[in-house]
Structure 1
Amino acid sequence: MARQRKKSVRGGGSVFQRKDGRWEAKFKVEETGKYKSLYASTEKGAYKLLEEAKLQQRQGTLATGPDHTLKDFLVYWLEDVEKPTVEVSTYIGNRIVIHKHLVPGLGHIKLQKLTARQLQSFYALRLKEGMAASRVVRLNSVLHKALNHARRLKLVGVNVSEDVELPRPVKYKGQVLDAQQAKILLQVASERDLEALLALAVVAAMRQGEILGLHWSNVDFTKGQLHIVGSMNYYSGYGFVEGKGKTQNSIRVIKLPSFLLDLLKKHRTRQLEKKLSAGSTWIDRDLVFCGANGDFIRRTTLLYHMKKLLKDAELPDIRFHDLRHSAATILIAMGVPANVVKELLGHADIRTTLGTYGHVLPSMAQDATDKMDGLYGE
């Protein structure tokens, strides 16, 4: 037999003992008009839960929706909320985070029962297993976005991902080529029909995806410039995917030096010859850089040829993205203002540019000092 109900101390709701021995705190949710029950092993615990729930209701943080598992909620959020509103590349990346990491590790936990302590332990385990700090931060970023949606739907009262201590990612320090090494790279590349492509990376500081997704319609030979409007990547199960730029500032116009325009013109001539030879087998995608049949080039294929080229040229074994870093470093070392380099790179904030390439500035400071000595000194 259930014990007689007791009125809560401060009005609203009741606490009583169930037949199974547990204590139930029951109250009416103002937003829905329905009753919600909370359970505890002791009468005192039930009263405490009731008071906490009433406080949350006054503050507008009370979870009033059904209590799903984290797995069920994340799958719903990914497919019904995230997928229709983001680029395909973003959806694919978030899908990997959810299905490969969050669901296997945390998916069994009830959404409303998830705690910051559980998250902290989950991330600590992943770090111990060798996951990079930047990857852990990425997991929390996706979860944070999903839990914000859960909070708006009143499925949870708070976003517990905001209360964890995240590791500080170790900033990758890429190896860059100096001006002389960049010239050697382009000289060797000219023998293999890669000069124009690599020049866009090491001279114009373009990203790999921007180069592989570049169309001839984006190149304006009359004005001597090209328009970067998107990027291309290959995803297993999806194939080649063209998307928008990495950020809003990634969509930009780059003014090209005359020698690079000449390289692109020569490259286009050679490409037209290949197109005529291929005949009906040519896939016309209007790509500036394409495979033997006109189709997209995989990043892995480009990286293979670049690595071989670097080895033959006796240059450092660097990443493709380091060519972009090399371009910026060379320009700053030449005295090009940081704000001009910022626009070329497509950075949204000058602090990003200075933070990444600030190591070049001391030599410029010394040069400025020498010039002042020459101007004002005896």
Structure 2
Amino acid sequence: MPKRKRSVHGGGSVYQRKGDGRWVAKFKVEATGKWRELYARTEKEAYAKLQQALFEQKQGTLVTAPQQSLQAHMEHWLQVKRLELKDGTYTYYRVYTEAYILPVLGHIRLQKLTDAHIQSFYADLLEDVSANTVRLIHGILRTALEAAVRWKKIPLNPCKTVTPPRAVKKELTYLTLEQAQRLLEGARNHKLECLLTLALATGMRQGELLALRWTDIDFQKATLHVTRSLSYRNPDGTGYEHKVEEPKTASSKRTIPLPDFALEALQKHRVQQLERRLKTPEWEDKGLVFPNDTGGYLWVDPLRRQLKKLLQEAGLPVIRFHDLRHSAATILLAMGVNAKVIQERLGHSHISITLGVYGHVTESMQLEAITKLDDQFKRSKGGQP
């Protein structure tokens, strides 16, 4: 018979196996009701393992799930996240996981994954991608491993003791007022004229503009209602498709007052669209303000190419479509428009986002304010400005 001893603190036992002489610490897992055995070379080591396991069980950190690889866990985690995330966010999680995390760390058993593995992974990544990209990957992996802790797969999240690279602040790309005017001048009578005009006048996101319908515009009140967004996604890796969804955040649903030049561009564009519609028998009426040639959703790749060509022809720096949004906000800030008003036009959830993104403008405005303040006080003292 094997030599058996009761645990000092109860809740399990320690005994020596007769066959190979190994020591066994045995206890019941409260979450499953099943007995678990831990093996050790000495009696002292067996007691230490038992006490540690009972402590983890009391603290709620005892691992109760079966062992699996990081890849198996990440794939299951992505399936769960698919139910709660928007297509855009889910796609970015899936693509970064499959492109970067799984090829290097996927084979490692989840319970064997250490902070040293992850830190070395980040160091190697920095040779090929930017620090900001590594930080994005770190955010995905940290969140996935936090889920592993909640699901009792691992006791602690190794990402918590890993140091990601410092974020590098990117220079914001935008057009000045004079450059924006040059772009619109070059786009006169072009099929993108109205789209670019509205982008610069409202600061709307690309998806919000491409999902815009004529029923969203109130010409009498000179307002525009943002209620939906068009995404161009490949969430499951099976092919790209258009999808109309809720805007990015609750604050993204908003009403934007329109200036006269934007209203005039919309009215002109509507007449042109009606004429084109009459000449197109296969027209698909979705009520879109900015459809493709047959009334359906506009694909973004041709849009980007046409924008690039217009910028080059106008002698302007090549920027992304999203940078028109930055341009709209920068122009308004430079004109002295209140940041709260700009926040509401852009649909930012907090004014701190607006001020954080466009701090370059507010800094120059601060310098301008100081100069004006200095001039005023010099005048009040009879000095020379």
TM-score (norm 2): 0.88
CA spacing shift, 1:226–1:32, aligned 2, 3 Å: same
Q: Find 1:157's aligned residue among 155, 158, 162.
A: 155
Q: Structure 1 residue 41: deviation in Å?
A: 5.8
Checking the alignment, whether the CA contact within 8 Å between 1:224 and 1:257 is kept in structure 2 is: yes
Q: Find 1:235's aligned residue among 224, 233, 245.
A: 233
Checking the alignment, whether the CA contact within 8 Å between 1:219 and 1:227 is kept in structure 2 is: yes
- Structure 1 window deviating more from structure 2 (305-314 vs 281-290): it is 281-290
Q: Distance in 1 between matches of 2:89 and 2:376?
A: 53
Instruction: Provide the aligned length of Structure 1 versus Structure 2.
Output: 374
Q: Which amino acid aligns with 2:255?
A: V
What's the counterpart of residue 337 of structure 2?
Answer: 336
What's the counterpart of residue 266 of structure 1?
Answer: 268
Q: Structure 1 residue 185: deviation in Å?
A: 0.7
Checking the alignment, whether the CA contact within 8 Å between 1:25 and 1:37 is kept in structure 2 is: yes
1:1-378 to 2 correspondences below 5 Å: 4-16=3-15, 24-40=24-40, 44-79=44-79, 81-128=80-127, 130-236=128-234, 237-279=239-281, 281-369=282-370, 371-372=372-373, 373-374=375-376, 377=380, 378=382
Q: Distance in 1 between matches of 2:244 and 2:42?
A: 59
Checking the alignment, whether the CA contact within 8 Å between 2:201 and 2:258 is kept in structure 1 is: no
Q: Structure 1 residue 253: deviation in Å?
A: 1.8
CA spacing shift, 1:222–1:162, aligned 2, 3 Å: farther
Q: Distance in 2 between matches of 1:114 and 1:24?
A: 25
Q: Distance in 1 between matches of 2:20 and 2:94?
A: 42
Q: Distance in 2 between matches of 1:157 and 1:303?
A: 47
- Unpaired segments ≥5 residues, structure 1: none
Percentage of matched positions with identical amino acids: 47
Q: Structure 1 residue 187: deviation in Å?
A: 1.0
Superposition RMSD in Å: 2.5
Q: Which amino acid aligns with 1:334?
A: M
TM-score (norm 1): 0.89
Q: Which amino acid aligns with 2:142?
A: H
Aligned-partner SS, 2:294: coil
Q: Distance in 2 between matches of 1:100 and 1:168?
A: 22
Q: Which amino acid aligns with 2:86?
A: E
Q: Distance in 2 between matches of 1:144 and 1:260?
A: 45
User: Residue deviations 1:272-300, cap 9 Å, x none?
Assistant: 11111111x11222221121111222222
User: Residue deviations 1:196-219, cap 9 Å, x none?
Assistant: 111222221112222222222222
- Structure 1 window deviating more from structure 2 (350-359 vs 149-158): it is 149-158
Checking the alignment, whether the CA contact within 8 Å between 2:253 and 2:347 is kept in structure 1 is: yes
CA spacing shift, 1:22–1:102, aligned 2, 3 Å: farther
Q: Distance in 2 between matches of 1:230 and 1:356?
A: 23
- Structure 1 window deviating more from structure 2 (204-213 vs 254-263): it is 204-213
Q: Which amino acid aligns with 1:116?
A: D
Checking the alignment, whether the CA contact within 8 Å between 1:174 and 1:318 is kept in structure 2 is: no
